[in-house]
Structure 1
Amino acid sequence: MADRGPATAVLALVLNAFVWGLSWWPFRALQEHGVHPLWSTAVVFLTSFAVFFALKPQGLRGFGRQPLLWLLAAAAGLTNVGFNWAVTVGDVVRVVLLFYLMPAWSVLIAWMLLGERPSGAALARLGVALLGVATVLDTSGSGLPLPRTLPDWLALAGGFSFALTNALLRKLNTETAASRVLAMFGGGTLMAGGVALAGLLQGTVAALPAPTFGWIALIVLLAAGFLASNLALQYGAARLPAHTTALVMLSEVVFASLSSVALGAAELTGRTLAGGALILAAAAWSAWPRRG
Structure 2
Amino acid sequence: MTTIAERPMTPVIMAFLAAALWGIWWIPIRYLETLGMDGAWGSVAMNVGAALFAILWVLITRSTFQIGLSGLLGAALVGVAVSTYSVAITMADVVRVILLFYLAPGWGKIIEWAFMGRGWHWASTFTVAASLIGAWLVLGGELSLSGIGAGDFLAVLSGMTWAGGAALIFTGDRASPSVLTLVTCLSATLIGAGFIVLGAGTVFSGNATTWGSSIGALAGVVYVLPIMVLTLWSAQRLPPATISFLLTAEILSGVLSGVLFLDEPFGPMQAGGAVMILLAATAEVLKGLGEKDR
Shared fold per TM-score greater than 0.5: yes
**Closer, same or farther: CA 160–170 of 1 in aligned 2, 3 Å:** same
Amino acid at match of 1:42: V
Aligned length, in residue pairs: 284
- Contact 2:170/2:238 (CA < 8 Å) preserved in 1? no
Q: 5+ unaligned residues in a row in structure 1: which ranges?
A: none
- Contact 1:81/1:192 (CA < 8 Å) preserved in 2? yes
SS of the residue aligned with 1:61?
A: coil
Q: Which residue of 1 aligns with 2:82?
A: 80
CA apart distance, 1:73: 3.9
Distance 1:209 1:53 in 2: 24
Which of 37, 40, 46 is the aligned partner of 1:38?
A: 40
Distance 2:146 2:80 in 1: 21
* TM-score (normalizing by structure 2): 0.82
- Taking the TM superposition and a 5 Å limit, the aligned residue runs for 1:248-267 are 248-267=246-265
Which of 133, 153, 163 is the aligned partner of 2:135?
A: 133
SS of the residue aligned with 2:222?
A: helix
Q: Which residue of 2 aligns with 1:98?
A: 100
Q: Which residue of 2 aligns with 1:170?
A: 170
Matched, 1:281 2:254: no
* TM-score (normalizing by structure 1): 0.83
Q: Which residue of 1 aligns with 2:116?
A: 114
Q: Which residue of 1 aligns with 2:65?
A: 61
Deviates further, 231-240 or 156-165: 231-240
CA apart distance, 1:269: 0.8
CA apart distance, 1:199: 1.6
Distance 1:37 1:97 in 2: 20
- Contact 1:6/1:239 (CA < 8 Å) preserved in 2? no
Distance 1:149 1:249 in 2: 25
SS of the residue aligned with 1:22?
A: coil
Deviates further, 174-183 or 35-44: 174-183
Distance 2:241 2:114 in 1: 21
**Closer, same or farther: CA 68–13 of 1 in aligned 2, 3 Å:** closer
Amino acid at match of 1:230: M
CA apart distance, 1:283: 0.6
Q: 5+ unaligned residues in a row in structure 2: which ranges?
A: none
**Closer, same or farther: CA 171–89 of 1 in aligned 2, 3 Å:** same
Offset from partner CA, 1:49-95 (integer Å, 9 cap, x none): 111121124667335xx333442243112201221111222111111
SS of the residue aligned with 2:118?
A: coil
CA apart distance, 1:116: 3.1
Distance 2:204 2:15 in 1: 34
SS of the residue aligned with 2:194?
A: helix
- Contact 1:82/1:154 (CA < 8 Å) preserved in 2? yes
**Closer, same or farther: CA 147–121 of 1 in aligned 2, 3 Å:** farther
CA apart distance, 1:158: 0.6
- Contact 2:82/2:188 (CA < 8 Å) preserved in 1? yes
Offset from partner CA, 1:214-240 (integer Å, 9 cap, x none): 552244124311112233345667788
CA apart distance, 1:173: 4.0
RMSD of aligned C-alpha atoms?
3.1
Offset from partner CA, 1:1-24 (integer Å, 9 cap, x none): x9x978876664443123211110
Offset from partner CA, 1:102-124 (integer Å, 9 cap, x none): 01111222234323353332122
Amino acid at match of 2:178: A
Q: Which residue of 2 aligns with 1:152?
A: 152
Offset from partner CA, 1:173-229 (integer Å, 9 cap, x none): 4333333222212211111122222223x65544643312x5522441243111122
